[in-house]
Structure 1
């Protein structure tokens, strides 16, 4: 795979959050600014492309972009419907053998699709796009978490927002695979294993990279989930809990909707990242979009360039953003099929866990505040109130 990376000067952003324990990297080991071998990531010194393109789009369509930002009331109704669907399925399967075809087929076709939808509902809610109140969004994410079976919504939010603020930054962006993962899974069987169990990698990796302080909302997430699981076990039975857990596992395994995990930021282009877009002067490619039918089940997460450019635009208005700024998105790399993404990722020898863009510097950590100050921080950012020292 070609590996030339065009670079410009880095623009590090200071971190104003409370320090947390995270992996340290040797200062003397500077990443290469151009090129990579077969067992290394794409190292870039360019600013992440979304900030650059965001400024260009705002300059071209200042008033239109502002109108697209804000909450989407439809989100809460979809979440209520999907949570109800999963509880109903768990109840109907209460006397069905876990290893039977009706149980497993329902868990794969309905359960995994529904829980993937809830994963992405929590993703949407983490950007404060369901309610105007940040605290209401936190509580609603806990509700959306219920059929997933394991409490994770409170921890997901700061890790995910750091992914946005620190795209590709080694030691901050927990969406990035580690060198250990890339090395040991650098084979067809290794990549197949990763695709089958990737939900576990996404669940465990963040805690291995750096740890968040425990806040009241984390404790509430755990408490509510445990109470719900115990209630389901008492009134419906243990098979209901297994249905939730198996659905969650399959949602992040070899399932069509799970293709978005790999499709979003792995480099599939045969030309190297760092190519400069003449319209925006942003390096390409680093994020891929998908405009297919599965977006109907996944809160338009396939429009991933659009989402990273404007995280304050809710899922229902991302297509309008794409149409409004079509000249900025028409030539960006995209995927036509999430199933095809999984297939190519496993079988293409030139695509592996090494195919991610990484940076040594830049970005900032979100979620270092203790207590409820994190909610205040989120509220200020949602309103556009600048945080001292952060650009």
Structure 2
């Protein structure tokens, strides 16, 4: 046994089982720490040098706002339809899982598009429309997501500023089959709550407006349709981030599913930390599967990511990718070599 004192919490030492010195990398209890810059900035510069016209792909997609309006309308329609349906019924569950979770995952990722200002030219218009897009989620989300997600792009893998990366405590407790099953089932809660414990952001009038609008809409739904309709929204949001095929993208994007057998942060290049997916589920998730492409060019809208890949294909064809988000979840839970430690981390840039 060994005890370490974490530099962020010196009053709370961590005790853990020390692996043998010759243990393979999958037995070592640590992340893939590196001093190297994240790869997307480097690849973006190389692509732009060879294909300067790639910049023409950047900018808003006008179709986005209409698709969002359709998905929000669909969710409102189903919530109304289920207003008298018992929560504990197959009808309620199946509609929530098949349609509700898929639609709300689409809503989550629509807010992701709006976070990058890819529906309207003016940032404020994107923020306000994100508040409308938030309605089927049932709880205020859009205003908080934007600053955290921008930090994720700017400081990929940063131990404090990138709240997409699990904490040391999560990895210690959950790096086993039972723990990974729990994480995969309740991962939406981890993504919602983890940021508040790691990095605090400034509360703005947009946050307040997001809260007030969502609470007002929830009040109207409960008053005129009943609690079952609001339960449909919240249950759909939970399922969208649980054991649902579309939720595989949360794990698929940055977890290292094929870890190297040995790794030394001072001698080795870190494993590639972003995976893409080119399958059919991109049709309902705003092409978020093209994740290397997205991180390279975060201001290229969902509708042009395939074009980006086509133009600069030699930069993407050999990068790691997944064939199935469903199997990503299965392998994440069952593969003993895949742990919550399987993320690249960098020392904090925060001063």
Matched, 1:246 2:235: yes
- Output aligned runs, 1:73-112, within 5 Å: 73-112=62-101
Which residue in 2 is equivalent to 1:48? 38
Which residue in 1 is equivalent to 2:14? none
Deviation at 1:361, TM superposition (A): 4.0
Does the CA-based 8 Å contact 1:292-1:337 persist in structure 2? yes
Q: Which runs of 4+ in 1 moved over 6 A?
A: 272-275
Q: Tell me which of 208, 216, 239 is aligned to 1:219.
A: 208
- Output aligned runs, 1:1-391, within 5 Å: 24=8, 38-63=28-53, 65-271=54-260, 284-362=271-349
Deviation at 1:269, TM superposition (A): 2.1
Q: Distance in 1 between matches of 2:292 and 2:63?
A: 22
Q: Distance in 2 between matches of 1:324 and 1:312?
A: 16
Does the CA-based 8 Å contact 2:79-2:233 persist in structure 1? yes
Q: Distance in 2 between matches of 1:164 and 1:315?
A: 16
Say how many residue pairs are matched: 327
Deviation at 1:166, TM superposition (A): 0.3
Distance 1:42 1:219, change over 3 A: same
Deviation at 1:272, TM superposition (A): 6.5
Q: Distance in 1 between matches of 2:111 and 2:261?
A: 33
Q: Distance in 2 between matches of 1:294 and 1:159?
A: 25
What RMSD in Å do the two structures reach over aligned CA positions?
1.8
Deviation at 1:270, TM superposition (A): 3.6
Does the CA-based 8 Å contact 1:24-1:171 persist in structure 2? no
Q: Distance in 2 between matches of 1:289 and 1:151?
A: 29
Structure 1 gaps, min length 5: 1-22, 27-34, 276-281, 366-391
